Amino acid sequence: MLNRGFCFLLCAALLAALSACGAQEPAESPAASTGGSAAVSEPSRPTQSSLLRELNMGAATSEGYYFIDPIQNSDGSVTLMYLDFAKGVELPLCSSPGCPHNGPECPANLPASGGGYVPLAVGEQLVLVYTGAPSSSQGLGEGALPRIETMEPDGSGRTPILRFESGQELFDPYITDGQNLYCNLMTTKGGQTTKELVCIDLTGGEMTALCTLDDSVGETLSGACGEAFILSSYNKQGQRVFLRMDAASLQKEELLTISPDISTYRLENGQLYYIAQNQLHALDCASLDDTVVCELDPLSEAQDALLGSSRDGHVLMLLDDYETGETSYFAIDTATGEQPPFTLAYSSAMGSQRPVAILAKVPGQEVYLVETGETMVDVQITGSDGTATTVQIPRPTHALISVSDYWSSNPNYTKIQSDF
């Protein structure tokens, strides 16, 4: 079992792992600090165990869901939103009556960063990742640096626990063992770029570089399963290769090479689904069991199949027909191989058809939070010459739906009301 204190491995184990990750000495990286950088913490032996799991790019707790409103404020800041499952309403994460939610005094207001914001839920703790934007450092200064904050579920007590250096960026996926956060860290310094798999202690704010990833072959952290990380890279033939790396020893073994006979694939929740020779396969990355889920109809030269969400014994398959311009969806049952049409879809603001997307599963319930469409919002922007212009920006609409209704294409939604 993976230990919760896994970040603190023995020095000897870490040195062995660095060679296993195929790189030289890791780049100098900052450790925990609320305002600056420090040396990377020394690894030590773990004391408690837990399994690795991949976090959604939005934070779902037992009571609600946290996400970033897509519409920026005039100063480039954004609003942290909270969707209450029980009340069926979404609103800024702020309890102050009459607050405009557009200034630093509002707990829901997040300052301009030039990069992405990723709210994550680790247990009932809210973690906010600023991914960093080196290209915006001149205009935003320290605001463009990657950093991590923790806060209470109501948004109070927001505390910076780790700030990174200039030239650094954080990349998904974000993985946790219940105490630590794991992700890709890319550092560019002196024209040289280094990518590392890092572990961040969310309690103490210390960071450990577990190993250097070989960026020359595109090696990157791609997921997790049980007690292992899932990496991917490219071989000499330009084919993508998935690897399983043991979390304790950092030893790697190959899972799957995406050879020419594999037309599409998707990695999600420790399952690697792929289509080869008109068959849908499911590769369990923990047990290494490779199962043929079902036979598929052969595709014409004008057709292309893609794999979407894979949850609760189902896989969503998208079929594009370039002759007709139509896209069809199928909800494949991984137990029976049945492939009924999936009809929960909507037209985006740009006119493209999209399937209703799963954002999260409500913890402890057989219910999904889904994105059901978009509404257009008038936003006033000011040009460099001071001229104000009104533009329309799409804002997603949300709903709750049972797992069974979703995969049966039954639009039995409980709509979420927006109070913003």
pLDDT higher than 90, residue 1: no
Q: Over pLDDT 90: what percentage of the chain?
A: 71
Contacts 24+ apart (CB under 8 A), 235-242: 242/267, 242/272, 242/285
Residue 285 gets which letter from DSSP? T
Could you read off the pLDDT of 224-248 as tens digits, one per residue?
999 999 999 999 999 999 999 999 9
| 30 in Cβ contact with 207 (< 8 Å) | yes
pLDDT band at 282 (very low <50, low <70, confident <90, very high): very high
Domain boundaries, the chain: 1-223, 354-420
**12-64 per-position pLDDT tens digit:** 333 333 344 444 333 333 333 333 343 344 433 233 346 999 998 789 999 99
Going from the C-alpha of 170 to that of each of 193, 209, 268, 269, 388, the distances in angstroms are 13, 13, 20, 21, 35
**Segment 147-151 mean pLDDT:** 95
Question: Confidence class of residue 141 from pLDDT cuts 50, 70 and 90?
Answer: confident
Q: Tell me, what's the pLDDT at 133?
A: 85
Over range 113-130, report the average pLDDT.
91
Amino acid at 8: F
Q: Give the confidence band of 8 by pLDDT, cuts at 50, 70, 90.
A: very low
Contacts of residue 25, Cβ cutoff 8 Å, sequence gap at least 6: 18, 212
Indicate the pLDDT class of residue 380, thresholds 50, 70 and 90. confident
Where is average pLDDT lowest: 112-126, 166-180, 208-222, 300-314?
Answer: 112-126
* Dist CA 130 CA 226 (whole Å): 27
Q: Which residue has the higher pLDDT, 48 or 308?
A: 308
Q: pLDDT tier at 4 (50, 70, 90 boundaries)?
A: very low
Q: What percent of the chain has a predicted confidence (pLDDT) above 70?
A: 88
SS3 204: coil
**Residue 74: pLDDT over 60:** yes
